[in-house]
Amino acid sequence: MQDITYDVRVYKTEVYKGQKATTYYVRWKVGGKPRRKPFRNAAQADTYRGELQSAAKKGEAFSLDTGEPVSWKRTDRPDLSWYDLACKFADMKWKGASAKYRQDIARALTAATPAMFESVRGKPDDLVLRTAMRRWGFNTKQRDDAPDEMADALRWLAANTKPVSALEDDAALVRILLETATSLLNGKRAATSTVLRNKTILQNAMDYAIELKLVPANPIKTLKWKPPKTTYELDRRSVVNHTQARALLAAVAARKPSGQRLVAFFGLMYYAALRPEEAVNLREADIILPPETETEEWGELHFATAAPFAGREWTDDGTLREERPLKHRADGHTRTVPIPPALVRILRAHLAAPYGKGPDGRLFTGVRGGELPSITYRRVWTQARKDALTESEVASPLAKRVYDLRHACVSTWLNAGVPATQAAEWAGHSVEVLLRIYAKCVVGQDEAAKRRIAEALKEE
């Protein structure tokens, strides 16, 4: 039997004017507990408030669970547990999402779900719950194949998470949900990129709840919440100069057994600004080299796909990597990048070697064949830094990530005077993003600009 009360007070509607929309909150108290329900227009809010007042004046009993008159029984819309909504949302997104984004959705929902536990009775171990959610519960492809222990954990979640409707008029619960989704296990706030990504995914899930008519409005969008400050500028300390880059490539070549076959892989990032997922998917047909007699001539790259690592359980065909269109480009659109003579020589030597290309034409494969594992090139790079750099440089951000070679290439282009529009085209960026990221890596341009201004202002 549900708990009821006749102690009801209805207050004036609160109006919140956000940047994109205005929300009308009907406010009332049931048994001393404040209640709030959002509406997108004033007429809906007035109607709902009037119905509450009418029921209170008639002396109707109100439910302490729902905050509404017992007679209403919420037959106007369905309800789902939070776990069921999260699964439906992951399923809805699955077909159109990249394998990498499917992982992001699973991670965000896994982080958020503990805030919606209704009971801890019989709760499985926290690690088991997180693993069950991330690898099976929020994975459309894997859910029905969960091992026994994980399947038991998922059944517990289905029976012990709060209904989505609990978020309607409980701002405190909404805030807890958002804070949980954007925090680490130790309670500290996650990295800025994780915070923003998880918040967006959570908002999208609640938009889907509106589509399913589970809630009338998105409670996260109306929450007063300050996002973390973001910085997109590249740390200049991570950018290698040409001498350091050549020393690193020489150190890569000396590593056994994979080093020699990876020199061209890292060279493509340093000399042509390829992303790792672009370099790993490059094929011989994507490369145009000058005649061998032209030792100082340039070549070109023409490629249209990348293969980011995702894991077999997230790709449709069970491969480790998912072949996708280039970042920020439509399917089928190519990118052209010039190959300087130094990289021409590296690529020519690579293609002439026994490991020069795999059966499918890809330039880079594992030592035993097949796809090049990301763990292989990361390990080689870590060791090469230790071999080529000083102890203080190894401890610094200098080329700490493989991706920093791409940053070094773009910085070199800009410092050499390549126009931002051209550098952005070669790098596969928008001009806006390029300038935002590399603003602090362009050196010496201010003095040149001052000289040009002085020349323009000279009196005749």
Task: Considering only residues 330 and 71, tell me which one the structure prediction assigns the higher pLDDT.
Answer: 71
Tell me the percentage of the chain whose pLDDT exceeds 90: 55
Find out whether 81 and 163 touch, Cβ atoms under 8 Å.
Answer: yes
382 falls in which pLDDT band (50, 70, 90)? very high
Tokens of 164: 């989505």
Residue 62 has pLDDT above 70, yes or no: yes
CA distances from 221 to 165, 210, 214, 229, 333 (A): 16, 12, 16, 18, 35
| Position 290 confidence tier, pLDDT thresholds 50, 70, 90 | very high
Residue 396 lies in a domain: no
pLDDT number for residue 230: 66
Contact (Cβ atoms closer than 8 angstroms) between residue 167 and residue 173: yes
Contact by Cβ (8 Å): 152, 84? no
Which CATH number do you get for residue 364? 1.10.443.10
Residues 159 and 183 in one domain: yes
Torsion of Cα atoms, 288 then 291 then 292 then 295, to 10°: -90
Among residues 208, 212, 93, which one has the least CA distance to residue 141?
93
Same-domain status, 172 and 297: no
Express each pLDDT in 342-351 by its tens digit. 999 999 999 9
Tell me how far apart the alpha carbons of residues 116 and 180 are, in angstroms, rounded to a whole number. Answer: 10
* 183 beta partners: 189
Predicted confidence band of residue 41 (pLDDT cuts 50, 70, 90): confident
Residue the block writes with tokens 């939070």? 82
Q: Return d(Cα 70, Cα 3) in angstroms, integer.
A: 10
pLDDT value of position 438: 79
Residue 323 pLDDT > 90: no
pLDDT of residue 17 exceeding 90, the answer is no
Rounded mean pLDDT, 436-456? 66
Does one domain contain both 247 and 372?
A: yes
pTM for the complete prediction?
Answer: 0.74
One domain for residues 377 and 295? yes
266 and 300: one domain?
yes
Average of pLDDT values for 120-135? Answer: 94
More reliable by pLDDT, 264 or 458: 264
Q: Which residues contact 232 (CB under 8 A, 6 or more apart)?
A: 433, 436, 437
CA distance 324 to 301: 18
The verdict on 286 and 332 lying in the same domain is yes
Task: Clarify whether residues 163 and 35 are in a common domain.
Answer: no
Residues 297-326: what's their mean pLDDT?
89
Q: Is the pLDDT of residue 298 over 90?
A: yes
Indicate the residue type of 178: L
- Identify the bridge partners of residue 336 per DSSP, sorted by sequence position: 302
- Listed in sequence order, the residues at least 6 apart from 371 whose beta carbon sits closer than 8 Å to its beta carbon are 280, 319, 320, 321, 365
Q: Is the pLDDT of residue 279 over 50?
A: yes
Can you give the pLDDT at residue 197? 94
pLDDT at 21 over 80: no
Nearest to 402 by CA among 414, 384, 426: 384
pLDDT at 56: 93
> Which structural domain, as residue segments, surrounds residue 56?
4-72
Domain assignment present for 249: yes
Shared-domain flag, residues 154 and 276? no
Same domain, 249 and 383: yes
Record the tokens describing residue 344, joined without a space: 């021409």
Q: Distance between CA atoms of 16 and 234, rounded to whole angstroms?
A: 38
- Provide mean pLDDT across the span 305-324: 88
For the chain, the farthest-separated pair of C-alpha atoms sits apart, in whole angstroms, at: 97
Calpha distance 401→124 (Å, rounded)? 37
C-beta neighbour count of 80 within 10 angstroms = 17
d(CA 362, CA 266): 15
**What pLDDT was estimated at residue 93?**
96
Q: 222: closest CA among 449, 21, 11, 12?
A: 21
Domain shared by 175 and 250, yes or no: no
Interval 395-427: pLDDT, tens: 999 999 999 999 999 989 988 888 989 999 999
For 109-112, the CB contacts below 8 A with 24+ separation are 109/133, 109/138, 109/201, 109/205, 110/134, 110/137, 110/138, 111/180, 111/181, 111/182, 111/183, 111/190, 111/198, 112/86, 112/177, 112/178, 112/180, 112/181, 112/198, 112/202
Q: Identify whether residues 181 and 276 lie together within a single domain.
A: no
* Nearest-angstrom CA–CA distance, 444 and 208: 51
Q: Domain boundary residue among 335, 356, 387?
A: 387
How many domains would you assign to the chain? 3
Q: Establish if 347 belongs to a structural domain.
A: yes
Please state, in angstroms and rounded to a whole number, the distance separating the CA atoms of residues 146 and 137: 8
Average of pLDDT values for 212-224?
87
- 236-258 average pLDDT score: 92
- pLDDT higher than 80, residue 391: yes
Residue 150 has pLDDT above 90, yes or no: yes
Residue 441 lies in a domain: no
User: Residue 234: which pLDDT band, with cuts at 50, 70 and 90?
Assistant: confident
